[in-house]
Amino acid sequence: MAEKPTVIAVQKALESAKKRNFTETVELAINLKDVDLSIPKNRIQEDIILPNGRGKDIHICVIGGGELALKAKDVADRVITPEELGAIADDKKQAKKIANDTDYFIAEAPMMALVGKRLGTVLGPRGKMPKPIPPGVDPTGMITNFRKSVTVRTKDRRTFHVPVGTVEMDAEKIAENIDLILKRVALRMEKGDQNIQSAYVKTSMGPSERIM
């Protein structure tokens, strides 16, 4: 049975990548066509749970108090209590560092408005506004899913990049991640995959290989 074009492209990208003294990310570049992204409703911002994860640690921060904070303590990378939120928001340097170091934020639903008011200017432009969770709910399942997730975000540009794995992962597993993302992007487009002009895979510092 012949290998899928996606697997072949990933294999070529991995083979052509030079050895580095750090673990390179593997990225998918998607170029859209015939879609007006200056219209907000046409833009994509979606969290996709990858079948094989991203091959790296994904950092999760939970913002909340009481029972939620207790349950999150052992499963999240950081917990910010309501008491700590103000001090962090007032320290712009610390707020930016936390925003940059964290992949996903989860906030207790009643705190969403306050988090938006105090940290919105830091989290909003990074596409990291928190996902709400009801008070007292065990966040373990949500955190587990986010550790395998990636955010697809177009903003207003027709070309965008999505991390799909690392050079240490198998080509087949990276290809599965890519195929799911392309499928999900096509579902969001008015003309399906006809709105995808091309797609390429590359390591963060290596040459790109065309998938479609």
Please, which pLDDT band fits residue 17 given cuts at 50, 70 and 90? Answer: confident
**Which range marks the domain in which residue 179 is found?**
5-55+150-210
pTM over 0.75: yes
- pLDDT bin (cut points 50, 70, 90) of residue 4 is confident
Do 195 and 129 sit in the same domain of this protein?
no
Residues 79 and 12 in one domain: no
The CATH number that applies at residue 134 is 3.40.50.790
pLDDT of residue 155: 86
Determine the Cα angle at 19 with ends 13 and 20, to 5°: 110
- For residues 50 and 68, state if they share a domain: no
Q: What is the pLDDT of residue 1?
A: 46
Domain stop point among 146, 168, 193: 146
Rounded CA separation 76/114 (Å): 21
- The verdict on 46 and 106 lying in the same domain is no
Q: Is the pLDDT of residue 8 over 60?
A: yes
If DSSP codes are grouped into helix, strand and coil, which group holds residue 27?
strand
For residue range 73-122, list pLDDT tens digits in order. 999 999 999 999 999 999 999 999 999 999 999 999 999 999 999 999 99
Domain identity same for 155 and 142: no
pLDDT at 74: 92
Both 108 and 167 in one domain: the answer is: no
User: pLDDT digit string (tens) for 42-68?
Assistant: 999 899 999 999 999 999 999 999 999
Domain boundary among 118, 146, 174: 146
- Mean pLDDT over residues 110-138, rounded? 93
Instruction: Please tell me whether residues 118 and 43 are part of one structural domain.
Output: no
